[in-house]
Amino acid sequence: MSPLNIQLPDSLYKSLQKLAEQDGVSLDQFVVLAVAEKISALTTEGYLRERSNRGSRSKYENVLAKVPDIEPEPYDRLPSV
């Protein structure tokens, strides 16, 4: 593990303390989880963008054309509004 020393505004630090306490974890663990979530979100966004760039509308439409045009089974229908 690598130590990290940061300066936080008092209001942010108090919010951090309160949220960590509500979550039942230490400040360190709360910050580690928050950083991990942010990294995951940014990594996922980039991954999805890269995947979408490889997509092909014509291939999508070809696959979609193979799906039969039938009513869904009763258990698979959306409830009427």
Evaluate whether 33 touches 20 at the Cβ level (below 8 Å). Answer: no
- Whether 54 is covered by a domain: the verdict is yes
Separation CA 26–CA 17 (nearest Å): 8
pLDDT at 81 over 80: no
Neighbours of 43 (CB within 10 A): 10
Mean pLDDT, residues 56-68 taken together: 93
What average pLDDT is seen over the chain?
A: 92
**Residue 30: which domain range?**
26-64
pLDDT at 23 over 80: yes
What pLDDT, on a 0 to 100 scale, did the predictor assign at position 34? 95
- Whether 56 is covered by a domain: the verdict is yes
- Whether 70 is covered by a domain: the verdict is no
- Whether 53 is covered by a domain: the verdict is yes
- Whether 8 is covered by a domain: the verdict is no
pLDDT band at 80 (very low <50, low <70, confident <90, very high): confident
Does the pTM surpass 0.85? The reply is no
Which residue in this structure is represented by tokens 């979550």? 23
- Whether 21 is covered by a domain: the verdict is no
Give the total number of structural domains in the chain.
Answer: 1
